[in-house]
């Protein structure tokens, strides 16, 4: 491969060169694919690819993985570059023994961005599990609390699960009777019309933000919802109290 002398070196250029060097069956994968998909905590300097196990890669300066378990559903094109799907990328990161928090971040952000779904992950994992891939058990442990959009939301889902309470729906959109968007809420126990929101340490502090929050809460209540809120301090520091409070409200 050749490039124009003086052309600026960039991450995208290295990814494209790797695809051209490794052939039509190569895919950007692992951390490089995570960065390309925009998943949280990705390494935007990584240059990694996956090729079929039977292929013989040419001499190169890239990190190349091989696999015999690659299906059409694992292949996508992102901004003109061949890559593994977000679902396959999450499974690959777990296989590469990435830290638990790294895999959590990739999973939650992929779901938040609409690039994967807990059921899709579970289905693909069952197919790959038969190949003896390391990391399947980690994803098994992370899947029950997936679906939130942040570590704070994941932690609340874990509290709810460990307390034996019914799992709420996540990221529920509410519209008024005219179809106007009112709010997207973190969690909702739909049968009880109970909306649960979680807020970080900073929260909304300006007058304008507080006014919007108040209007949002009022409009949700007008739709017949009960709205409660837990802070990050409560979620991480008072899980027993939160479980008891939710149990009382749901009963």
Domain membership flag for residue 4 = no
**Dmax of the chain from CA atoms?**
70
Domain membership flag for residue 72 = yes
Q: Could you give the CA distance from residue 225 to residue 232 in angstroms, rounded to a whole number? A: 22
Query: Beta-carbon neighbour count of residue 221 at 10 Å?
Result: 13
Same domain, 129 and 201: no
Same domain, 166 and 129: no
Q: Region 191-204: what's the mean pLDDT?
A: 82
Residue 174 sits in a domain whose CATH number is 3.40.960.10
pTM over 0.85: no
Same domain, 123 and 157: no
Same domain, 111 and 233: no
Domain boundary among 89, 119, 145: 145
Domain boundary among 110, 145, 180: 145
Domain membership flag for residue 187 = yes
Question: DSSP letter at 74?
Answer: G
Domain boundary among 93, 122, 145: 145
Q: Region 176-192: what's the mean pLDDT?
A: 88
Q: Could you give the CA distance from residue 227 to residue 193 in angstroms, rounded to a whole number? A: 9
Q: What is the CA radius of gyration of the chain?
A: 22
Q: Region 75-79: what's the mean pLDDT?
A: 95
Each residue's pLDDT tens digit, 102-126: 999 999 899 888 899 888 998 898 8
What's the number of domains the chain is made of?
2
pLDDT score at 31: 95
pLDDT score at 243: 95
Task: Give just the sign of the alpha carbon dihedral 243, 164, 203, 104.
Answer: positive
pLDDT score at 201: 63
Q: Which of 229, 219, 222 is CA-nearest to residue 182?
A: 219
Domain membership flag for residue 237 = yes
Please check the confidence at residue 131 and state whether its pLDDT lies above 60.
Answer: no
Identify whether the C-beta of residue 31 lies closer than 8 Å to the C-beta of residue 13: no
Same domain, 169 and 135: no
The DSSP element (H or E) to which 75 belongs, if any, is strand 75-78
Give the residue ranges of DSSP H helices in the chain.
Answer: 11-22, 30-37, 86-95, 100-112, 118-129, 136-142, 151-162, 207-222, 232-237, 239-250
Domain membership flag for residue 38 = yes
Same domain, 127 and 187: no
- Domain residues for the domain of 193 are 151-250
CA 64 to chain centre: 24
Give, rounded to a whole angstrom, the gap between the first and last alpha carbons of the chain.
Answer: 67
Please check the confidence at residue 61 and state whether its pLDDT lies above 80.
Answer: no
Identify whether the C-beta of residue 67 lies closer than 8 Å to the C-beta of residue 31: no
Average pLDDT over the chain reads 88
Same domain, 132 and 166: no
């Amino acid at each position: 491969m050749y490039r124009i002398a003086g052309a600026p070196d960039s991450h995208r250029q290295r990814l494209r060169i790797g695809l051209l060097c490794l052939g039509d069956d190569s895919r950007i994968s692992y951390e490089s694919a995570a960065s390309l998909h925009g998943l949280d905590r990705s390494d935007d300097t990584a240059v990694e690819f996956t090729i079929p196990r039977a292929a013989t890669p040419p001499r190169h300066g890239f990190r190349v993985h091989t696999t015999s378990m690659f299906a059409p559903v694992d292949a996508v094109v992102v901004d003109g570059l061949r890559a593994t799907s977000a679902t396959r990328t999450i499974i690959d990161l777990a296989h590469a023994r990435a830290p638990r928090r790294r895999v959590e971040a990739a999973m939650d952000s992929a779901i938040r961005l609409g690039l994967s779904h807990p059921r899709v992950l579970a289905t693909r994992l069952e197919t790959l599990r038969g190949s003896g891939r390391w990391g399947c058990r980690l994803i098994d442990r992370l899947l029950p609390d997936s679906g939130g959009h942040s570590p704070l939301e994941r932690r609340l889902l874990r509290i709810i699960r460990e307390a034996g309470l019914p799992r709420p729906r996540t990221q529920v959109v509410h519209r008024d009777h005219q179809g106007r968007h009112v709010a997207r809420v973190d969690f909702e126990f739909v049968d009880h019309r109970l909306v649960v929101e979680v807020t970080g340490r900073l929260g909304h502090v300006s007058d304008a933000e507080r006014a919007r929050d108040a209007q949002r809460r009022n409009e949700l209540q007008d739709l017949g919802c009960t709205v409660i809120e837990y802070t990050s301090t409560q979620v991480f520091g008072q899980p027993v109290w939160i479980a008891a409070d939710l149990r009382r409200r749901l009963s």
